[in-house]
Amino acid sequence: MAVLMSPLHAALNTDVFFRHMVGNMRNGVLAIARDGSIVLVNSEACRLFDLPNDGSIPGQPFRTVLSNQPDVVRVLGGAFEMATLPNRAELRLTSTNTAIGYTLSLVRNDDGYPVGAALLFKDLTEVEEMEERERLRDRLAAVGEMAAVVAHEIKNPLAGIQVLAGLLKRKAPQHPEMQSLVSDILSEAKMANSIVQEVLAFVRPVRLQVARTSLSEAVASALSLANSGTPRGAIDVNVEIPADLPLIGSDHHQLTQVFTNLLINAFHALDGRGHVDITARLAHTADEGALQPDGRHLTPTVVIDVADDGPGMRPEIAEKIFNPFFTTKQQGSGLGLAIVRKIVDAHEGRIDVTSAEGRGTRFRVTLPVDPPPRVEPAEFRKTRQV
Ligand SMILES: Nc1ncnc2c1ncn2[C@@H]1O[C@H](COP(=O)(O)OP(=O)(O)OP(=O)(O)O)[C@@H](O)[C@H]1O
Ligand SMILES: [Mg+2]
């Protein structure tokens, strides 16, 4: 056997040890014998393949047990025929749409004869989500950099137009027609200027004034800002934030901006009627949603949901909403959610969206109670300051 052990430990009951080891592995393990029966399956494999974890699976044919995972059946089915077995390959489980990374190896006896095959695999959902966030960061940085340059270059000629139009206006006080034309030029220039300012505000690095902040207060400020900025109509807003939620290390104003933008979007989506629910809770474990900022340690985390029962979004829309300048609105600049994301990132938090057409939209903001110290969000460090 190609497993090396100390003589002392080899004398112990290694079978039990191996069983515990495989059972508790964080990778999924499923092994079959040559006749196609399952020899062993561990808890992670049961979770991923959605199988009962009660010991009823071993002994059964893998083709029957995994009938709703045709790709896995195909991989296992080829184990004894393939010249080279897949190593670090990926496939997507059809039942749950989960990506897994897997390695298939033959189980050989002491004579080298293959008596079975073992599939080792890992849930790639988190890796995929992380890659997606990285891609988005890169995209944001690239778009931001370009927008900064364009806005900066437009700023000067625009100021020139405003000054010259002002001069023209003063030069011809007796020409009412000309006065009105020049006023139009000035108001258009003012509009262009406010777009430039908005873009510049977006591309500027987020600088946080971190202090112990009450989430309830930030949400209350956001609600009154959203109420004054958008006609709310008969929309019912319900806020449920536990009184004992800890204060979070964050920038009150920027946090308020996050919830203001989310609320305004919800009000737009609801178009005068429906519900918005804002709820918050504390999370300590990964299952509850706690963050792992350094990839190892869980940190106490506040999870805030802003959910509406509006029209929701199609998946092809939902995947673009955090892109700067993506909007489906006539009057939208498409920067609202890009700014939200930038602020959440600066707090070392996360924002996720769950939405389905006709079933409303839920934004989940996840923030560490104590964000690790950080000078500037990495994705904007390179951005030119204007
Ligand atoms: N709660 C929601 N329900 C449905 N669609 C939404 C919701 N929130 C955002 N969206 C979609 O996401 C798009 C982008 O939102 P974002 O806030 O970034 O820009 P915007 O609202 O269009 O413009 P603005 O810059 O004025 O905020 C919206 O145009 C809309 O299509
Ligand atoms: Mg918006």
Query: What does the pLDDT read at residue 40?
Result: 94
Q: What is the pLDDT of residues 341-370, one digit of tens each?
A: 989 988 989 999 999 999 999 999 999 998
Instruction: Identify the domain boundary among 204, 234, 253.
Output: 204
Q: Does residue 1 surpass a pLDDT of 90?
A: no
52 and 164 part of one domain: no
C-alpha of residue 342 to centroid of ligand 2, in Å: 14
Domain span at 103:
7-123
Q: What is the CATH number of the domain that holds 160?
A: 1.10.287
Q: What is the CATH number of the domain that holds 107?
A: 3.30.450.20
Q: What is the CATH number of the domain that holds 309?
A: 3.30.565.10
List, chain by chain if needed, residues with CB within 6 Å of any ligand 1 atom. Answer: 261, 265-266, 269, 308, 310, 313, 317, 321, 326-329, 332-338, 361
Q: Does residue 135 surpass a pLDDT of 50?
A: yes
H-helix or E-strand spanning residue 368: strand 361-368
182 and 274 part of one domain: no
**How much is the pTM?**
0.65
Q: What is the pLDDT of residues 216-255, one digit of tens each?
A: 999 999 999 999 888 889 999 999 999 999 999 999 999 9
Confidence of residue 47 (pLDDT cuts 50, 70, 90): very high
383 and 321 part of one domain: yes
Most ligand 1 atoms within 8 A of CB, residue of 261, 321, 353, 361 to mutate: 321
Q: What is the pLDDT of residues 181-203, one digit of tens each?
A: 999 999 999 888 888 887 887 77
Residue 173 lies in a domain: yes
Instruction: Identify the domain boundary among 204, 220, 252.
Output: 204
Give me the number of domains the chain comprises. Answer: 3
337 and 381 part of one domain: yes
200 and 272 part of one domain: no
C-alpha of residue 270 to centroid of ligand 2, in Å: 13
346 and 373 part of one domain: yes
Lowest mean pLDDT among 8-22, 107-121, 321-335: 8-22
Q: Return the structure tokens found at 194.
A: 């406010």
251 and 192 part of one domain: no
Other Cβ atoms within 10 Å of 151 Cβ, number: 20
116 and 160 part of one domain: no
Nearest CA to ligand 1 atom 7: 265
Instruction: Identify the domain boundary among 91, 123, 155.
Output: 123
Q: Mean pLDDT, the chain, as a whole number?
A: 87
* 5 vs 156: which has the higher pLDDT: 156
Helices (H), the chain: 7-10, 14-23, 43-49, 62-65, 70-77, 125-171, 176-203, 215-229, 252-270, 315-318, 336-346
CA 50 to chain centre: 24
Q: What is the pLDDT of residues 311-347, one digit of tens each?
A: 999 999 999 999 888 999 987 888 899 889 989 988 9
Confidence of residue 126 (pLDDT cuts 50, 70, 90): confident
CA distance 186 to 162: 6
- Of 349, 379, 319, whose CA–CA distance to 132 is shortest? 319
Q: Does residue 382 surpass a pLDDT of 50?
A: no
Q: What ligand 1 atom has the least distance to the C-alpha of 308?
A: 1
C-alpha of residue 344 to centroid of ligand 1, in Å: 17
Residue 2 lies in a domain: no
The fraction of the chain above a pLDDT of 90, given in percent, is 55
Q: What ligand 1 atom has the least distance to the C-alpha of 332?
A: 23
C-alpha of residue 335 to centroid of ligand 2, in Å: 7
Nearest CA to ligand 1 atom 8: 265
Q: Return the half-sphere exposure (C-beta side, CA atoms, 13 A cut-off) of residue 304.
A: 30
**Which ligand lies nearest to the CA atom of residue 363 in the structure?**
1
CB distance 292 to 284 below 8 Å: no
Confidence of residue 143 (pLDDT cuts 50, 70, 90): confident
C-alpha of residue 262 to centroid of ligand 2, in Å: 7
> How large is the average pLDDT for residues 57-63?
95
